[in-house]
Amino acid sequence: MVRRAIVGAHYGWMDFLAQRITAVVMAVYTLLVLAIALYRGGIDYAVWQALFTYTAFRIATLLFALALLWHAWIGMRDIWMDYVKPTAVRLMLEVVTVLALVGYVGWVLLILWARAA
């Protein structure tokens, strides 16, 4: 039986790849929103509201949020690992980070589908 420690093989490679793929997803979304804003000559309430009536745009926004969740988790965990040495404190900060990020995704879902419907 293989006993896996908390740091096992290939975790780093997976994170490396995820960090880059999620970055590309967010960059594409950013350029998309920027292109829309430029095309419409700015964004007022009517344009903004209309944009979010499209399911495709809501899904794209959700994909951005999920990419951000994953990206920010890897980045913040790296920061905690580099600068916070006491295990108990670091674990606490990591837990807070995860809870915040998952909570934020819940908030996005609420905004996208419960409030703006």
Partner 1 sequence: MIKPRPVYLNLAQIRLPLPGFVSILHRISGAALFIVGIPLALYALQESLASPDAFAKLAAICSHPLARLVLFGLAWAYLHHFCAGIRFLLLDLDLGGELKQARQSSIIVLVVSLALTLMVGARLW
Residue ranges in contact with partner 1 by CB under 8 A: 20, 23-24, 27, 30, 45, 48-49, 52, 68, 72, 75-76, 79, 97, 104, 107-108, 111, 115-116
CB closer to partner 1 out of 46 and 88: 46
In whole angstroms, the minimum distance from the beta carbon of 35 to partner 1 comes to 15
Q: What is the 3-state secondary structure (H, E, C) of the chain?
A: CCCCCCCCCCHHHHHHHHHHHHHHHHHHHHHHHHHHHHHCCCCCHHHHHHHCCCHHHHHHHHHHHHHHHHHHHHHHHHHHHHHCCCHHHHHHHHHHHHHHHHHHHHHHHHHHHHHCC
Cα of 4 vs its chain's centroid, Å: 28
CB closer to partner 1 out of 42 and 86: 42
In whole angstroms, the minimum distance from the beta carbon of 36 to partner 1 comes to 14
In whole angstroms, the minimum distance from the beta carbon of 27 to partner 1 comes to 7
In whole angstroms, the minimum distance from the beta carbon of 60 to partner 1 comes to 13
CB closer to partner 1 out of 3 and 45: 45
Amino acid at 109: L
